[in-house]
Structure 1
Amino acid sequence: MTHPLRAVSLADAVRGGRSSARAVTEAALDRIAAGNPALNALVAVHAEQALAESEAVDRRLAAGEDLPLAGVPVAVKDTIWVAGRRVTQGSRLFADFHATGDAIAVERLRRAGAVIVGMANTSEFACKGVTTNPLFGPTRHPMDPKLTPGGSSGGPAAAVAGGLVPLALGTDAGGSSRRPPAHVGAVGFKPGFGAIPYGPGFAEPFTGIAVLAPIAADVADTALMFEALAGPDPRDPDSAAIAPAEERPIASLTVAYSPTFGLDAPVDDDVREAVERAVEALAAAGARIVRPAGSFPRWPAGITETALMPLQHAGLAALYGEAFRRDPGLFDPDIAVQIERGLSLTAAEVAAAQLLGVETGRALAAQFAGVDLIVGPTTPCVAWPLDRLGPETIGGQPVPPRAHAVFTPLFNHAKVPALSLPCGTGHGGLPVGLQIVAPRGMDRRVLRFAAFAEKTLAAGQPDSQP
């Protein structure tokens, strides 16, 4: 039986007249009223606007329109413009800002018949690996309120995993919409750069790599949302067409399994074991899994997230440095540290990080000449306590606060599509994510393989729902 919160089934019921967009929206608002206070996943709920939008969807259907997301409730990250709504970026600087227009992706959601029910929590400026900010406080993990869902799209991920909405729209400039879904047991898809048009909206601290990212409970819903959003738009010069769906059998794809994505990074045993079991199950189901010898992928010398972070710090300093100088107390202390670092950087240090990012993309592209996909862990650990920036140890080793984020940022710099799929559980029954990566332009290959993997892994779990 299909889960009642699946977007595919909800839209099908509304299009088929078995339900209405208004009824679906009313049910979502009831769930949000009951469940959101404990999660703090949504920081604004627009009930009147949502009901009005749902009634408009019902009228459009009655007039004969074909709406692939008919009546589906969507939460939008509080960094993405939704016309007329308060959009704050989790910052006191924007506490009273109201968007003057829709982002192109939001415009496309509405065109497809989706209903925007509210704004989902984020870290300030989407620049932190946990979801808390000076305006709204922390978002909590749906399975344990003492844990964080990660960040910065913890609000969208918790809203989906907590059963408040079937779909959410996040952003991803370093893993923000893959790591939180991995931690809460949802699907998070970072499309290739340009696959979904970006803006209009706020300036992005991490320029040239940020994308808008669908988050959903399963792959079919993720693909449905992606198809409604993808495709070029002249308002975004970076937007581009992507390859159509392939007809190749899954068994013909060469899939490289890399337990650490070629990085010298510790991984907790429970995560490693869950990912290993998932990869073995995929191989048994017919996937052509290869285990490259040595370090794979082979990255440029000196590559680490730390080596690339000057780009984020410099971006924050450029955008908000003057406001920081006037009143540092306006900012989340963790963001203030990043702005201070950005203000202290030299032009040469920023340029070096930019060049390293370009080299990262070229290095990965060369290695895709021999494989069709790369898989490995989304994160090296499961969720951790809410009051910490990251776990204190991973793989039995003391680690810095960003060690939990090690496996996602390089794929942003390479501008390739990458998806996190639930693949099992670690200690305490907490979710573990499998990250699936393809060459740039092959977004639909990622989604197709993820659907195969989801079905394969569900077959090994008798109690799971399809």
Structure 2
Amino acid sequence: MGPPERDGGFSYTLAPPRASELNGFRIAVWPEDPSCPVDHDVVTAMDDALNALKAASAKVEVRPSGLPDDMATSHDIFLRLLFGAFTYDRSGLTPASNTALLARLAQHPRGEALYALRGTFQSYYSWLQADVARHELRQRWTEFFRDFDVLLMPVTPTAAPPHHNKPIDRFGRRIQVDGRSRPYWDQVKWSAIANVAGSPATTVPVRTGRDGLPVGLQVMGPSGGDLTTIKFAELLGRELEGYQPPPAFV
């Protein structure tokens, strides 16, 4: 479609990949976080990736001290901005969904339902605070990616969970992480990091988990560095088991 007319013909060109071989990338790794534990399948996928990077003589730093974000802060900003969208469009709020929301709030007063209720009815000033925090966070990520080219981390804490079969109840779901019950909304915490930062992230198929489901990792890069994350994912993917189609689809 080209640049919007309202921008006066301004166009944006993506930066080229920062490296063309794995050993040319400066790689940070965020393998796990106590705010969102990952299960054995994801740990194994990360081990596979780190072994592949080691074999390629890549420059890797695990848990660098300069990470500009923490999981709890990122998730809080993400939820405030996400549910803030409903302050404008509340067409999805039906009597049934509202009843389910209030029921979960009564059962778990400090759970995700509270974030939804607060976020949906927050003031503009509250949303603006979250937006300012987002832009401050984006600047810190810009500085981080002066020292690193990509950040490797989980996409979700588990492989795909079983179907929930409850279309209304968005806040009663649970997932199992190595036998421990966790909130279903843990599934968005890792991907929200790049989302809040406004940075590109590319998923790399790594291996097949214990239940035969695919497990991947995500590669986050600097703003405008889409071609960097894509190139790194391509190179790393060549060294891994990758995606294996289910037997019925081979």
SS at match of 1:365: helix
Alignment of 1:269 with 2:40, yes or no, is yes
2:217 is aligned with what amino acid? L
Q: How many residues align?
A: 224
- In structure 2, stretches of 5+ residues that fail to align are 103-112, 245-250
- Matching of residue 419 in structure 1 with residue 189 in structure 2: no
Q: CA 1:334–1:259 in structure 2 vs 1: closer, same or farther (change >3 Å)?
A: farther
What is the CA distance between 1:258 and its match in structure 2? 1.5
Q: Which residue of 2 aligns with 1:317?
A: 87
Q: Report the alpha carbon displacement of residue 439 of structure 1 after superposing the two structures with TM.
A: 0.8
**Residue 105 (structure 2) aligns with:** none
Which position in structure 1 is the counterpart of 2:68? 298
Q: CA deviation at 1:297?
A: 2.3
Match of 1:439 among 209, 217, 222: 222
CA 271–458 in structure 1, closer or farther in 2 if over 3 Å, else same: closer
User: Is 1:358 aligned to 2:135, yes or no?
Assistant: yes
How many Å apart are 1:433 and its aligned residue? 0.9
Taking a change above 3 Å as real, the CA distance of residues 357 and 290 of structure 1, as seen in their structure-2 partners, is same
Residue 335 of structure 1: CA displacement? Answer: 9.0
Q: Please state how far the C-alpha of 1:307 moved relative to its aligned partner.
A: 3.8
Q: Partners of 1:236 and 1:427 in 2: how far apart? A: 52
Question: Is 1:255–2:38 an aligned residue pair?
Answer: no
Letter in 1 for 2:75: E
Q: Show the 5 A alignment for 1:4-83.
A: none
Residue identity in the other structure for 1:279: L
Cα drift, residue 398 of structure 1: 3.1
1:274/1:446 CA distance change after superposition, 3 Å = same
- Residues 283 and 398 of structure 1: CA distance in aligned 2, closer, same or farther (over 3 Å): same
358-367 or 284-293, which deviates more: 284-293
Between the aligned residues of both structures, percent identity stands at 24
What is the RMSD computed on CA atoms of the aligned residues?
3.3
> Of 53, 60, 68, which aligns to 1:289?
60
Q: Secondary structure at the match of 2:187?
A: helix
Q: 1:251 to 1:343 in 2, by over 3 A?
A: closer
How far apart are the structure 2 equivalents of 1:414 and 1:312?
14
The answer to whether residue 152 in structure 2 is matched with residue 380 in structure 1 is no
Change (3 A) 1:335 1:455: farther
Judge conservation of contact 1:300–1:359 (CA < 8 Å) in 2: no
Q: Which structure 1 residue ranges, 5 or more long, are not aligned?
A: 1-103, 105-231, 462-466
Query: What is the identity, as a one-letter code, of the residue corresponding to 1:398?
Result: S
Counterpart Cα distance in 2 of 1:240 and 1:335? 42
Alpha-carbon distance in 2 for matches of 1:434, 1:414: 18
1:420 shift after superposition: 0.7
Residue identity in the other structure for 2:196: H
The DSSP-based 3-state class of the residue aligned with 2:190 is: coil
Shift in CA distance, 320/292, structure 1 to aligned 2, threshold 3 Å? closer
Q: Is the 8 A contact 2:22 2:236 kept in 1?
A: no
Aligned counterparts of 1:233 and 1:334: Cα–Cα separation in 2: 43
Q: How big is the shift at 1:441?
A: 1.5
1:63-85: per-residue Cα shift (whole Å, max 9, x none)?
A: xxxxxxxxxxxxxxxxxxxxxxx
Which of structures 1 and 2 has the larger relative contact order (alpha carbons within 8 angstroms, sep 6+)? 2
Residues 405, 302 of structure 1: alpha-carbon distance in 2 compared, 3 angstrom cutoff: closer
Cα distance per residue 1:108-159 (max 9 Å; x no partner):
xxxxxxxxxxxxxxxxxxxxxxxxxxxxxxxxxxxxxxxxxxxxxxxxxxxx
Q: Which amino acid aligns with 1:250?
A: L
1:429 aligned residue (212, 216, 220): 212
Instruction: Describe how 1:78-117 pairs up with structure 2 within 5 A.
Output: 104=1
d(CA) in 2 for partners of 1:407 and 1:315? 21
CA distance in 2, matches of 1:348, 1:284: 51
CA separation in 2, counterparts of 1:340 and 1:239? 39
Say which one has the larger Rg. Answer: 1
Letter in 2 for 1:287: A
- Matched to 1:362, the amino acid is Q
Instruction: Find the aligned partners of 2:70 and 2:241 in 1 and give their Cα distance.
Output: 37
1:302 Cα shift?
5.5
Q: Which residue does the alignment assign to 2:187?
A: 404
For 2:14, the equivalent position in structure 1 comes to 242
Instruction: State the alpha-carbon separation in 2 of the partners of residues 276 and 290 from structure 1.
Output: 14
Superposition TM-score, scaled by structure 1 size: 0.42
The structural deviation recorded for 1:348 is: 3.1
